[in-house]
Amino acid sequence: MKQAIRISCSRRNLKVVRDFVGAYLAGQQLSEVVVNQLILAVDEVVANFIIHANAEDEKQFLDVRVDVRDHEFGFEIEDGAISGYSPGSYQEPDLREFVRVGKKGGMGMMLVNRIMDRVEYSTTGEHTICRLYKTLT
């Protein structure tokens, strides 16, 4: 069963998204660890769209969709804003270099890529969509 919400691009809506995803997953008989991992992955992508693509402009909106088919969980985060944000060009950071220079941040998408089975980005016109997939049996 597919469910969706629309949020404005404000950090305070991150909790709304976490609650939405958590409520959807609660009925799926998953372990608490898996539920928390999936919530974290969606939260990270939504935060990136809110902060980096939309500069926390509350006039902009994101659509978040959740679905499960044949034990594959699918999450879509769609951004309708025009921006120079290019999440598809992400390259995994060098963790040793991060530790060496004491850098904080910049590791969220690495976590997303490790939690999820597939992470896909597509852009059509003004819409950027991130799709996250996780198969659980």
pLDDT digits (tens, 9 = 90+) for 64-92: 999 999 999 999 999 987 655 555 555 66
Q: What is the pLDDT of residues 108-117, one digit of tens each?
A: 888 999 999 9
Structure letter (DSSP) for residue 53: I
In this prediction, residue 126 carries a pLDDT of 81
Phi, psi angles (nearest 5°) of residue 24: -65, -45
Measured CA to CA, the distance from residue 15 to residue 25 in angstroms comes to: 15
Structure letter (DSSP) for residue 50: I
Measured CA to CA, the distance from residue 137 to residue 120 in angstroms comes to: 22
Answer yes or no: are the C-beta atoms of 20 and 35 closer than 8 Å.
no
- Would you call 65 exposed, middle or buried from its count of C-beta atoms within 10 A (0-12, 13-18, 19+)? middle
Q: What is the pLDDT of residues 95-128, one digit of tens each?
A: 566 555 665 556 688 899 999 999 999 988 888 9
Answer yes or no: are the C-beta atoms of 91 and 107 closer than 8 Å.
no
In this prediction, residue 125 carries a pLDDT of 82
Q: What is the pTM of this model?
A: 0.86
SS (H, E, C) 77-109: EEECCCCCCCHHHCCCCCHHHHHHHCCCCCCHH
Measured CA to CA, the distance from residue 61 to residue 56 in angstroms comes to: 10
The domain 3-135 having CATH identifier 3.40.50.11540: the answer here is no
